[in-house]
Amino acid sequence: MNRNRKWKYVGKAVLSGVLVTSLLVGNIGYAEAKPISQEETVYVELAEDGSVKEVTVSDLLKQEGKENVTKEEKADKETKLPVDVTITYLLDGKEIAGKDLVGKSGKLTIRVKYTNRSTRKKSINGKSETLYTPFIMATMMVLPSDKFTNVEAKDAKVMEQGDNQIVLGIGFPGMAESLNLEDGDIKDKLKSEFEITADVKEFEMDQAVTVASADILSELDLEDNENLQDLEDGIDDLCDASGKLVKGTKKVDQAVTKFGDKFGTFAKAITKMNKGTKVLNKGSKTLYKGIRQYTQGVNGLADGVTAYVQGSDKVSAGISAFYTGVKDLPETYKKFSTGLSSYTSAVDKLADKDTVNALVDGAKGVAAQITAMNTNLETLEKSYDKYDKIIADLKAQADSCADEEQKQALLASAAELEKVAAEQEKSVAAMKDVTKSDGAWKKGADQVSNGVAQYTGGVQKLSESSSTLTSADSEISKGLTSLVTSAKTLNEGSGKLSQNSKKLLSASKKIKKVSKSFVKGGKGLADGTKALAKGSARMNQAAGAFQKGFTALEKGTGSLASGVKKFDEKGIQKIKDTYEDDFVSLKDRLQALGELSKDYTSFSEKQQGVGSEVKFIIQSPAYKK
């Protein structure tokens, strides 16, 4: 009985360490308090050869409100234990029995191996498989520090306590096989053996105590586990999201390809635009040169108009003086008939060639200048269409221009050109108003010319022979009357000409002023198209660089779509398959192991209606001198 108490004391100490350590792999559950419960402890003493020497079963019955009852009995040592522990000793690399090791020194290796013999059939994914009852086993060895130095343990813990070094090793025999684990970190943590190395001097060692319990997974229930359900739902969501990502990246790749095709067309258009802007720049230079030539012509025309107006003023003054001189000729002629001397004097006055020629030449010059002016006005009117075309082209270029500064410059040039065209049109209209009266004074000029011719002829005839004067009197009278009438008409026409000449002079000044703006606008147009050409060249260059970058992007999106698809197939779907094939299987295996843990409650037969749990305490022999 004393020996059993000692075992209980040692077993409880070891079991406490086991329970603490087992927290690394899971929570140990305890059955809820029941009216009657049974705690069963199986004490196993091993012989030196490792065989079972003695088995004692101790049952502690607990009932609420009553005194606990302890029952002990010997068990048949031939009865197969569900678990076993084998300790092997090696000195300097050679295996040696524990009893033969006493008193020896050297490099010592101690190997502890656990064996699980408790198996049951369970249905896993519809298949019947053999699973091991989930035992956790722990062995504690006390190694005196004066005998053991440089103690190291593989898959076990070494702790110093006073003059001793305590080694605690844990194993899970059959657990990795039950879970069907491949090589990996988890399997490495579920080993069924551990190893100790040390330098030993005159070997001696107390008993090694091993505790085994199947209660580790008794409270495990994965059927209604919310976290596992969340994991399953999360995997489904992940698969759905991955599918959408595959479709999305495919659409992105298709969109990028489509954009690439459209951009190719756009790049070609930019190239054409670049060529067009070069032509436009060249044309604007030619236009500017033409505008300068045109304005030079306009300035010449304005100067000519000024000279013409000055000449017309002189002609008007001469016509007025002429009319003043001839309007009294009929009365003078009547007096002439009464006296030859007066007649001769009058004839000499009338026969003044310089006056007559100046009158005729002035009338003809006026007619010729008006005719030339009308021709120039018609030419100017025909140029309106060119202005309209140039303005329309400028606005079209502005609409297609990407650079805002260049666009505003083109629009400003178009507005300036419209202003110039409007001013020119007003000036031409004013000049046409001036020439509207050309019918009257031209007719008068022609009549003057004819009258002067008739008058000159009559005077000549009078000069040639005074004897014929009487016979020509009637004709001269008619000529004088016609001359006076024509002179009057010419005088009236010259008055209108003088008034309209002022308008013509004002219009020519406006044209000259506007032509300066026209030149300025033409220069602005030339400068603007030059900047446009430079900007277009830069845009063409940038389009080329963008094309290269976009080609890389297109390849990248293609690779992305391919990579995402591969990630979905090789990654996400593999996760799903792994979950469905491996994790679900692991879940079922853990659930089955939990059931085995819950079912293994007694080594001997337990009483009906009594909750029970069982643990094994296995004592290896001590080796002393």
Q: Considering the domain boundaries, does residue 595 fall inside one?
A: no
Is 236 contained in some domain? no
Contacts of 264 (CB under 8 A, 6+ apart): 547
CA 268, CA 262: separation in Å to the nearest integer? 10
Give a yes or no: residue 190 inside a domain: yes
Same domain, residue pair 387 and 533: yes
Handedness of CA 485, 488, 492, 498 (dihedral sign): positive
Q: What is the pLDDT of residue 163?
A: 94
From residue 88, alpha-carbon distances to 49, 98, 327, 474 in Å are 10, 8, 164, 175
Q: What DSSP string describes 35-48?
A: SEEEEEEEEEEE-T
For the chain, give me the number of helices (H) and strands (E)? Answer: 14, 15
Statement to judge: residues 558 and 606 lie in one domain: no
Compute CA 59 distance to the chain's CA centroid, rounded to the nearest angstrom.
76
**Both 169 and 271 in a single domain?**
no
User: How far, in Å, CA of 260 to CA of 550, rounded?
Assistant: 7
The span from the CA of 55 to the CA of 602, in Å, is 14
CA 419 to chain centre: 45
Q: Are strands 127-132 and 119-124 parallel, antiparallel or unpaired?
A: antiparallel
Maximum pairwise Cα distance, the chain: 198
Q: What is the pLDDT of residue 348?
A: 61
Query: Which structure tokens are listed for 29?
Result: 């559950």
What does the alpha-carbon distance between residue 45 and residue 483 come to, in Å, rounded to a whole number?
Answer: 170
Question: What is the full DSSP assignment across 227-269?
Answer: HHHHHHHHHHHHHHHHHHHHHHHHHHHHHHHHHHHHHHHHHHH
Angle, CA 155 vertex, CA 149 and CA 159 arms, to 5°: 45
Helix (H) or strand (E) holding 332: helix 329-336
| Among 585, 582, 592, residue whose Cα is nearest residue 132 | 592
Q: What is the pLDDT of residue 55?
A: 95
CB atoms within 10 A of CB 569: 12
> Is 204:160 a contact under the CB 8 Å cutoff?
no
Inter-residue long-range contacts of 609-613, CB under 8 Å, 24+ positions, other chains counted: 609/36, 610/34, 610/36, 610/37, 610/38, 610/61, 611/31, 611/34, 611/36, 611/37, 611/38, 612/37, 612/38, 612/39, 612/40, 613/31, 613/38, 613/39, 613/40, 613/215, 613/218
Measure Cα distances from 245 to 233, 241, 500, 523, 576 in Å.
18, 6, 84, 58, 16
How many whole angstroms separate alpha carbon 63 and alpha carbon 537?
Answer: 100
For residues 186 and 290, membership in a common domain is answered with no
Torsion sign, CA atoms 477, 478, 479, 481: positive
Residue 209 maps to a domain = yes
What pLDDT is stored for residue 130 in this prediction? Answer: 94
Residues 210 and 306 in one domain: no
Q: 31 and 159 in one domain?
A: yes
Q: Which residues pair with 86 in a beta bridge?
A: 113
Domain that holds residue 343: 254-563
- Please indicate, yes or no, if residue 371 is contained in any of the structural domains: yes
- Radius of gyration from C-alpha coordinates of the chain: 65
Q: Would 224 be classed as within a structural domain?
A: no
Are residues 110 and 89 in contact, defined by beta-carbon separation less than 8 angstroms? yes
Within-domain flag for 581: no
152 and 11, same structural domain?
Answer: yes
- Position 231 in a domain: no
> Do 204 and 337 share a domain, yes or no?
no
- Find the angle CA(222)-CA(225)-CA(226) to the nearest 5 degrees: 160
Type of residue at 273: M
Q: Record the tokens describing residue 151, joined without a space.
A: 């103690």
DSSP string, 3-56: HHHHHHHHHHHHHHHHHHHGGGT-PPP-PPP-SEEEEEEEEEEE-TTSSEEEEE
Buried b (16+ CB within 10 A) or exposed e, 405-442: ebbebbbbbbebbbebbebbeebbebbbebbebbeebb
Three-state SS at 409: helix
Sign of CA dihedral 397, 398, 402, 404: positive
Residues 615 and 555 in one domain: no
Distance CA 120, CA 599 (A): 11
pLDDT score, position 5 = 46
Does the pTM exceed 0.85?
no
Residue 288: predicted pLDDT? 74
Same domain membership, residue 264 and residue 200: no
The Cα–Cα gap between 58 and 40 comes to: 6
pLDDT at 594: 86
- Report pLDDT for 604: 77
- The helix (run of H) or strand (run of E) holding residue 511 is helix 469-567
> CB count, 10 Å around CB of 459?
20
- Count of domains observed in the chain: 2
Lookup: tokens for 455: 């008058």
State whether 366 and 415 are in the same domain.
Answer: yes
336 neighbors 343 (Cβ within 8 angstroms): yes
**Distance (Å, whole) CA 75 – CA 64:** 29
The tokens of 14 are what?
């070891």
The pLDDT, as a whole number, for residue 1 is 44
Q: Which amino acid is at 307?
A: A
Residues 6+ positions from 204 with CB-CB distance below 8 Å: 102, 103, 144, 147, 623, 624, 625
270 and 143 co-located in one domain: no
H helix runs in 63-119, sequence order: 98-101
Chunked into runs of 10 residues, the chain (625 residues) has average pLDDT values of 43 41 42 68 93 93 84 87 96 96 97 96 90 96 96 95 95 92 76 97 96 82 57 68 78 77 76 78 78 74 67 65 65 60 58 63 65 69 71 82 80 78 70 60 64 64 55 59 67 68 70 70 76 77 73 78 77 64 74 86 68 90 92
Distance CA 182, CA 176 (A): 8
Tell me the residue ranges of DSSP E strands in 481-571: none
553: CATH: 1.20.1260
Nearest one of 262, 259, 260, 249 to 557, comparing CA atoms: 249
CA distance 437 to 499: 11
